[in-house]
C-alpha cells in the first residue's frame, strides 16, 4: 500500500532504504531529536529494514517517506504499539537528513499516517512523545490536531542535561483532513 500527497509518498520499505537510515545515525541533530543514545551496526540496520519489509507484525505499520521529486527515501513514519483491544497506537517519525527539514515532509507524513491509522487500522487514539526542545515538531503536531496530555519530567538525559518529554494524542473525531 502507498499513500501520496503532491510532494511525498509513504511506501513500504525496500532493501536499499537501509543506506539512508544508516547514514542518518551519523547526525547528532537527528539522534538528539529522536533521543537515540545507542550505537548500531550496519547489520542491525539491515535486519531492521528486512523486518519492515516482511511487515508481518500486527502491532505496527511502517512506511518510508519518499520525496516525489527525486524518489529519495527522506525518512520513516511508524505507528507502533498498536493495541487492538483499546483501538490505540503510538506514532513516531524521523527524517534522515537535516537538509530535508522545513520542506513539509514531516507534516505531510504524519497527517497521512494518522489518517491511515484511523481509517485502515481502525484506531480511535494515536499518541506520541516529543522532547521539549523541539517546538517546531510540537507546532506541527498541534496543527494536525494533537493535544498535549502531560509531561514526562526529565525523561531524556542528553549532553549533561535532563529534558522533558511531552505526551500528545489525537482522537479519531479530532482529526482534520
Active site positions, annotated: 141
SS3 48: helix
Residue 78 and residue 125: Cα distance in Å, rounded? 15
**How far, in whole angstroms, is CA 53 from its chain's centroid?**
17
Q: Are 73 and 93 in contact (CB under 8 A)?
A: no
Residue with cell 496543527: 143
How remote is the C-alpha of 159 from its chain's centroid? 23
With H, G, I as helix, E, B as strand and everything else as coil, classify residue 28.
Answer: helix
| Residues facing 92 on adjacent strands | 78
For 167, list phi and psi in degrees, rounded to 5.
Answer: -95, 130
Amino acid at each position: 500500500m502507498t499513500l501520496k500527497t503532491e510532494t511525498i509518498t509513504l511506501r513500504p520499505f525496500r532493501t536499499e532504504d537501509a543506506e539512508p537510515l544508516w547514514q542518518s545515525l551519523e547526525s547528532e541533530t537527528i539522534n538528539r531529536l529522536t533521543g537515540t543514545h545507542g550505537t548500531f551496526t550496519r547489520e542491525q540496520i539491515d535486519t531492521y529494514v528486512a523486518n519492515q519489509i516482511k511487515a508481518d507484525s500486527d502491532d505496527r505499520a511502517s512506511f518510508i517517506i519518499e520525496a516525489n521529486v527525486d524518489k529519495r527515501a527522506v525518512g520513516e513514519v511508524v505507528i507502533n504499539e498498536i493495541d487492538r483491544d483499546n483501538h490505540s497506537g503510538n506514532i513516531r517519525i524521523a527524517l534522515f537528513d537535516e537538509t530535508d527539514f522545513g520542506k513539509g515532509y514531516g507534516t505531510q507524513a504524519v497527517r497521512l499516517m494518522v489518517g491511515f491509522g484511523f481509517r485502515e487500522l481502525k484506531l480511535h487514539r494515536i499518541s506520541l512523545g516529543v522532547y521539549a526542545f523541539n517546538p517546531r515538531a510540537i507546532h506541527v503536531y498541534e496543527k494536525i490536531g494533537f493535544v498535549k496530555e502531560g509531561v514526562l519530567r526529565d525523561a531524556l538525559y542528553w549532553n549533561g542535561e535532563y529534558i522533558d518529554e511531552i505526551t500528545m494524542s489525537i482522537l479519531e473525531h479530532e482529526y482534520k483532513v
